[in-house]
Amino acid sequence: MLALTEPLVVGVDFGTLSGRAVVVRVRDGAELGSAVFEYPHAVVEDALHGRQLPPDWALQVPSDYVDVLRNAVPNALEAAGVSGENVIGIGTDFTACTMIPVTADGTPLCELTEFHAEPHAYVKLWKHHAAQGQADRITDLARIRGEKWLARYGGLISSEWEFAKGLQILEEAPEVYAAMWRFVEAADWIVWQLTGNYVRNACTAGYKGIHQDGAYPSADYLRELNPRFERFVTDKLAHPLGQLGDAAGRLTAEAAAWTGLPAGIAVSVGNVDAHVTAPAAQAVEPGQLVAIMGTSTCHVMNGAELREVPGMCGVVEGGIVPGLWGYEAGQSGVGDIFGWFVDHGVPPEYHDRARELGVSVHELLTGLAAQQEVGEHGLIALDWHSGNRSVLVDHELSGLVVGQTLATRAEDTYRALLEATAFGTRVIVDTFIDAQVPVTEFVVAGGLIRNPLLMQIYADVLDMPLSVIGSSNGPALGSAIHAAVAAGAYPDIRAAAAAMGSVERDVYLPIPANVAGYEELFTEYLTLHDYFGRGVNEVMRRLKERRRNARKGRDQ
């Protein structure tokens, strides 16, 4: 162990499949060591304790999150070659909206004997999309009633968010709903485990919990939605809010034993993986859009003024940094789509060739696809394999590839899927600009920055230079930055970001010839986007409903 005397902080990023801890020097943001712990139960999507789950379910087991604290944090300290004695704070972030029904002492209902086999008692992961029917009703009623908060979410409420998931529990498992003391964001639950205090963070309350101008949707509105839902806010959701960068409490002796950190150090208020990454990328001023690209992509950006942007995930005052309006958009499937294609759409000979070359199938396909000219494969794809988060906010939509022939090869489809996600991002950026929210810089973070072809495609499709975060652990570094603020090492998030954040400007530049080619293909993408996504042809919704009915009939 190194005998460091400089103060350190720890950031922990809870992702979709694993948790990552990083040890960071407060003075300059240097990352001294990191460690990853994969969730033993991963994502529960098909069956739970032998019980078949319906389509579009995505659950997790909350004990996996505590195991991250027990394993990733001590291992990160070991990797850094330091003891925990100089750590002055710890911060965490989570995927959102990931929800846990709990008792009054924070025990997840799935850990109670009577609910151990009940799916609704488990964590509903962000990509649990089975509450689309409830989300549609929430949106439709808000539109009919003229609820002012609806415009803050682009006119549509997502099935991924708190109200849709809560309403689904009420209507499908009323006994779980009755036993639930609070419906808690995982971002707040993990802080509760660290401190013994339940503090609801202002970020998820605003973006995922429809908290605007100091209030949630009214009991009047909720009663009209479902009479038994009238007290959802009062009984299951409302709680004092903690502001970003504040301390939620102090590390308990029990959590200190898990992590190897000193008891009593500051624990920052919980946060979302995307929003916490903006300071890590030094993107805290208006117009700097950060795209956190992994299994999905979340786009976050500050704006100086409040604008209503169609189809956005939300705009929240102080949602990223105090004093500015934080905007959020996103794509529900990006890396997940590429992974699905490699697992299920690539012929065995490609896997054999990748093994012979000592590369991954992703690397093989990327190399082959990079040899093509723009449009050479003759394909256009829609990136909706996990539904559409922005700007259509409809998880009944599905993926599509147009133009396949007997000459189509795996690298053709792979490149078309890469391009489809870039086109989806272009729709989001254009929507911001059309709503008078300027996008002046596009900064990329997340695991997909390792694919140079994908990055160049994005630069060409957007016709913008791409800046790249200087850290491979963006969310964890962002959480560490918040921990430094909570511990009093910096006066605010901006100051901490300037000292501890890292970014490389203009790493990928648009290639003019590619920009022109992609402009033509983007026009084709928009035609398909509007035809299938804006109600002209609802075949995707009908197919989803047919699938559900067929599965239901088979399981009965």
Nearest to 328 by CA among 310, 307, 313, 317: 313
Query: What is the average pLDDT across 355-360?
Result: 98
The token pair at 336 is 């997940």
266-268 and 87-94 strand pairing = parallel
Residue 91 has pLDDT above 80, yes or no: yes
**Which amino acid does the sequence have at 431?**
T
Q: How far apart are CA 420 and CA 467, in angstroms?
A: 21
State residue 555's pLDDT score.
66
Mean pLDDT of the chain: 96
State residue 5's pLDDT score.
79
The predicted-structure confidence for 312-343, as pLDDT tens digits, reads as follows 999 999 999 999 999 999 999 999 999 999 99
Residue 258 has pLDDT above 90, yes or no: yes
State residue 556's pLDDT score.
62
State residue 554's pLDDT score.
72
The token pair at 349 is 């000979």
**Which amino acid does the sequence have at 152?**
R
420 half-sphere exposure, CB direction, 13 A CA radius: 28
Residue 74 has pLDDT above 90, yes or no: yes
Express as a percent the part of the chain with pLDDT over 90.
97
Query: What is the average pLDDT across 501-525?
Result: 98
State residue 4's pLDDT score.
61
Nearest to 304 by CA among 292, 293, 320, 291: 320
241-242 and 200-201 strand pairing = parallel
The predicted-structure confidence for 144-203, as pLDDT tens digits, reads as follows 999 999 999 999 999 999 999 999 999 999 999 999 999 999 999 999 999 999 999 999
**Which amino acid does the sequence have at 193?**
Q
Q: How far apart are CA 330 and CA 336, in angstroms?
A: 14
- Sign of dihedral through CA atoms 262, 264, 270, 276? negative
Residue 3 has pLDDT above 60, yes or no: no
Beta bridge partners of 59: 44, 124
Residue 2 has pLDDT above 80, yes or no: no
The predicted-structure confidence for 264-299, as pLDDT tens digits, reads as follows 999 999 999 999 999 999 999 999 999 999 999 999
Burial 508-520 (b: 16+ CB within 10 A, else e): bebeeebbebbee
Residue 241 has pLDDT above 70, yes or no: yes
pLDDT band at 553 (very low <50, low <70, confident <90, very high): confident
Query: What is the average pLDDT across 429-442?
Result: 97
State residue 498's pLDDT score.
98
The predicted-structure confidence for 35-64, as pLDDT tens digits, reads as follows 999 999 999 999 999 999 999 999 999 999
Residue 1 has pLDDT above 60, yes or no: no
Residue 256 has pLDDT above 90, yes or no: yes
State residue 39's pLDDT score.
98
Query: What is the average pLDDT across 397-426?
Result: 98
Quickly count: other Cβ atoms within 10 Å of residue 409's Cβ: 14
Residue 252 has pLDDT above 70, yes or no: yes
E-state strands within 346-454: 380-382, 400-402, 441-445
3-state secondary structure 516-533: HHHHHHHHHHHHHHHHHH
